[in-house]
Structure 1
Amino acid sequence: MYLLFLYVTLFSLSALALYRLFFHPLCRYPGPILAALTGWYEAYYDIVKRGGLVVEIERLHKLHGPVIRIGPNTLHFNYRQAYHDIYTYGSTLVKDQEFYSSMGAHVPQGSLSFCDPEAAKQRRGLLQPLFSRRAVMSLEYTIQQKIDQLLAMLNDNYNSSSKTVSMAVAYRALSTDIITSYCFAESSNILESPGLSHPILRGVEGILNKLWFQRHFPFSMTFVSIVPQTLVLWLLPEFEVYLDMKAKFKRQIDSFINNPEALSIAEHETVFYHLLEPKGQERPSQASLLDEAVVVVGAGSDTVGNACNIGTFYALKYPSIRQKLKEELEEFWVDKDLPMSYTALEKLPYLTAFIKEVLRFSMGVVHPLPRVVGPSTPKIGGLKLPSGTVVEMSIVFLHMNPDVFPDPYTFNPDRWLVEDTNQMMLDLAPFSKGPRICLGLKYISHPCLAWCELYLIFGNIIRRLDLKLLVTEETIDNFASDCRDYLVPRWEKEYRVFAQQ
């Protein structure tokens, strides 16, 4: 019996391999044989090569051309028209259930895991008012308060070459304090924690460290949710911080449910005001509210934090860039002890060009985001593909396209000061495109939360501080060429600074 089972299994696997290699609708597209045979090809580069998938895809495109097969049923593209086709066709392409269910296994009822276009549309409808210009402007005072706190901390605690700080950590602390205030009307106050060591920061870092294991072994999160917590922590002690973070969010959500008046008297609108008091919709479940909190805090802290970290590095690395920024800011912001509004800062041309270049380099999500071709999907990059085909393109290939951005790996804000930037603006997509674009950005030319934070943070940091870059063997040299794919970019090296008095 066992021998028969073995023969049947071997025959089935052989037949499947032959089908995928020679008879599958995608068999005519080039790519590694192993990738055509199994999805574990991607797992190898995600886990064993530690976020090396995008680097491998770059190599494959150089070898095989603009369309490659990187999975049994998956094509990856490397030209701009394909990107816009994939991510702007709306409901004719849907998010790949297998990918997003595993990526969101820790938040199964959060919007990250929503693959049904109608469910995603309803959740966005609840949150959309919070990211309008009016709502963002009401938060400006809170953002400025947090920036003032960051500047004071840098001046007081990190003010010599022997007292330096990682700006990656400092900016994540700042952006997390802002987004938790926006969620709950109660900041996490990470900037007040000694050494910027705080459970929420460690919790978000822990999620990123385990992300690819969760992606390819999603049942691990089911294990975490059903077994006693003491056993989980004995087997996986690093989960303690993450579980503590979720427990804190749960307490805050429970307090709002029990005392909804607390949200209505907050000094600004909050995410949970709209989620708990939905108009024309049923209120999300408690579990969904908790998962949404983790999604919003994670996304809101990482994207802006990464952008600020990268921009500050290049402003310090290239004195000419910093000098242009300082001269422009000094001309329009005469008294640096008085706050400068977001609406005033967004009118500064070089600062705006600088932020656009920062967003091009920071990229947002670098991992390819898969979409599934539907029966009514138009051509993708000029190709009519079978329904059910998974298509994707990493933002790296859009932002680093030399045909649109000459010398793409050079950080150059001046590229945005030319007369016609329409094509570059079309291809600047750090928060994706189309109906699934990040709510914090909405449209790249439309003022929103991300833009507001970036203008205020860079304006204040450059105008009111004199930061010095500490260069050592462990200092990163170029963010664009040293990027690892952990869904969002991560780097082996960092940089440290101190505030000159």
Structure 2
Amino acid sequence: MFFRLLACLAIFYIAAKVLYRRYFHPLRKYPGPVFAALTSWYEAYYNIIKRGNLVVELERLHNLYGPVIRIGPNTLHFNYRRAYQDIYTNGSTLVKDQEFYHSAVSHAPQGSVGLCDRQESKSRRTILGPLFSRRAILDLEYTIQEKINILMTLLENHHNSPTTSVQMSAAYRSLTIDIITSYCFAESTNSLASGFGNYEQKSIQENLNRLWIQRHFPFLISFVSIAPQKLIIWLFPDFNSFVEMSAQYERQIDYLTNNPEDFSKVENETIYHHLLHPKVRERPSKTALIQEAITLVGAGSDTVGNACTVGTFYALKNPAIYQKLVEELCEAWPDKDRPLSYTTLEKLPYLTAFIKETLRFSIGVIHPLPRVVGPATPEVGGLKLPPGTIVEMSTLFLHMNPDVFPDPTTFNPDRWLDENSTNEMMQDLAPFSKGPRMCLGINLAWCELYLILGNVFRKLNMSLPDSNKDMIADYCHWDHVDYFSTQWQGDYEVFVQKITE
């Protein structure tokens, strides 16, 4: 009798909830699929069953219903610039959606990306900000150039024939991991020297591969975080690289905590100089320090590595783009054996245009990043919404707006050379997001992009094998959004030859 009563109550509760969300909820007037209005598992279906095709579905829904759609019981997705600005750029009264972030980054919820409390996030960014200021980047430019020189040597010496072509995605990601670890920890992972791959690179890729499971079943990652390492490796062998990476950062933190005098022996300032500084009022816990390290390495390597992969492919695919890049670089950089500074490279108009178009195509995070409307939020996209409403907009809809970027699916750096339209286009270029929660390492990313792509196109002759020239169909930027951020379904190879003149 008791269980029958319990079952009846459960059925009544579910029915009442369905009726409320469908007919009485404050967002009931906004169009969208009925299933999305009833349950958040609508998002899970497209993320897990459809392998991350939520953004493709959002595009279809906007074409069907208009610029504002209801895609969850309490969630609205927008598709126009004003809404993006209100949510992210001007959204000081909105906070990150804790349910989303603490699941999507459940492997590092105490890292800067996972911090949802506005004051806590501001404090962490205040501590780390000086390390990523433009002045700090310029002071440590040599660190970036040193790693690029290693890559150039490897490509010239070991990948310079049709039988020794190189997978550019692996090469670029190895480079960016070495750069970010040297920059943040003064201790490189030497991924380049280990054949374009180590446990950190594997861990980052594994995190991307399981992100949708992690997003909707975060307790699995929580279990990994607290269970004994041997048990985790036995139960989940794919987590081995993540466990190794966490253990490496824990050893670093323990050593520096117990040997503070060694701070003066490292080549450059590290994140630990800032996070463990005596002037920091509330020193983060060891768990928070480990998770911050994981966050910085993941965010600081994958975004730039992916952008370089995308940009290089389109340059090699289009001889006109490739020729313009090389001609401009040769004119500005007559002696390729003498390094050209970041401040000089960023003044080159076509290289700058090429990098901006690369960033437009290689969006850092393509999945919508939800924010929660607060009591003091004035409007979002011209709409007055009840507090607690979740609002979001994928950056894809900015970057592929045909009103701002004519023929948006065509990779065309020339569009950025028109000064009359550049200012407007820059308002819709947001590969690192915008506003108070934008990417902490944006200055470092721009510096890396100029130095990496400048060196690669100035110092190397590159070409695609015939089998790779039609690989655009495999790029999931448009038709197959397979991960949280835009990724290649496969990798392409490049023939490399050193420029001797």
TM-score under structure 1 normalisation?
A: 0.96
The equivalent residue for 1:168 is 169
Q: Is there any run of 5+ residues in structure 1 with no aligned partner, and where?
A: 442-447
Residue of structure 1 aligned with 2:492, choices 488, 492, 495: 495
The equivalent residue for 2:305 is 305
CA offset at residue 493 of structure 1?
Answer: 2.8
Question: Is 1:348 aligned with 2:348?
Answer: yes
Question: Is 1:289 aligned with 2:286?
Answer: no
CA offset at residue 216 of structure 1?
Answer: 0.5
CA offset at residue 482 of structure 1?
Answer: 4.2
The equivalent residue for 2:445 is 450
Where has structure 1 moved over 3 Å in runs of 4 or more?
Answer: none
SS at match of 1:113: coil
CA displacement, residues 55-106 of structure 1 (integer Å, 9 cap, x when unaligned): 1111111111111111000000011111111102343100001101112211
SS at match of 2:130: helix
- Which residue identity lines up with residue 249 of structure 1 in the other structure? Y
CA offset at residue 277 of structure 1?
Answer: 1.1
SS at match of 1:489: coil
SS at match of 1:472: helix
- Which residue identity lines up with residue 163 of structure 1 in the other structure? T
- Which residue identity lines up with residue 461 of structure 1 in the other structure? V
CA contact 2:229–2:243 (8 Å) conserved in 1? no
Q: Could you tell which deviates more after superposition, 224-233 or 51-60?
A: 224-233
CA offset at residue 148 of structure 1?
Answer: 0.8
Residue of structure 2 aligned with 1:471, choices 437, 452, 466: 466
The equivalent residue for 1:203 is 203
Instruction: Map 1:477-488; keep pairs closer than 5 Å.
Output: 477=472, 479=475, 480-488=477-485
Whole-Å separation in 1 of the counterparts to 2:249 and 2:230: 20
- Which residue identity lines up with residue 467 of structure 2 in the other structure? T
Question: Is 1:461 aligned with 2:456?
Answer: yes
CA contact 1:401–1:408 (8 Å) conserved in 2? yes
**How many residues are aligned here?**
494
CA offset at residue 473 of structure 1?
Answer: 6.4
CA offset at residue 382 of structure 1?
Answer: 0.9
Q: Is there any run of 5+ residues in structure 2 with no aligned partner, and where?
A: none
Whole-Å separation in 1 of the counterparts to 2:448 and 2:12: 58
CA displacement, residues 247-300 of structure 1 (integer Å, 9 cap, x when unaligned): 111111222222223333322222221111163532211111111000000000
CA displacement, residues 192-245 of structure 1 (integer Å, 9 cap, x when unaligned): 003x23111111111111111111011112222333333322221111111011
The equivalent residue for 2:26 is 25
Structure 2 CA distance for partners of 1:38 and 1:278, relative to 1, 3 Å: farther
CA contact 1:136–1:449 (8 Å) conserved in 2? yes
Question: Is 1:125 aligned with 2:126?
Answer: yes
CA contact 1:75–1:392 (8 Å) conserved in 2? yes
Whole-Å separation in 2 of the counterparts to 1:418 and 1:467: 28
Whole-Å separation in 2 of the counterparts to 1:332 and 1:225: 51
Whole-Å separation in 1 of the counterparts to 2:307 and 2:108: 25
CA displacement, residues 337-372 of structure 1 (integer Å, 9 cap, x when unaligned): 111111111111111111111111111111000000
Whole-Å separation in 2 of the counterparts to 1:47 and 1:248: 31
Instruction: Map 1:67-466; keep pairs closer than 5 Å.
Output: 67-194=68-195, 196-277=196-277, 279-420=279-420, 421-441=422-442, 448-466=443-461
CA contact 1:367–1:485 (8 Å) conserved in 2? no
Identity %, equivalent residues: 62
CA contact 1:25–1:386 (8 Å) conserved in 2? yes
SS at match of 2:407: coil
TM-score under structure 2 normalisation?
A: 0.96
Q: Could you tell which deviates more after superposition, 424-433 or 108-117?
A: 108-117
SS at match of 1:45: helix
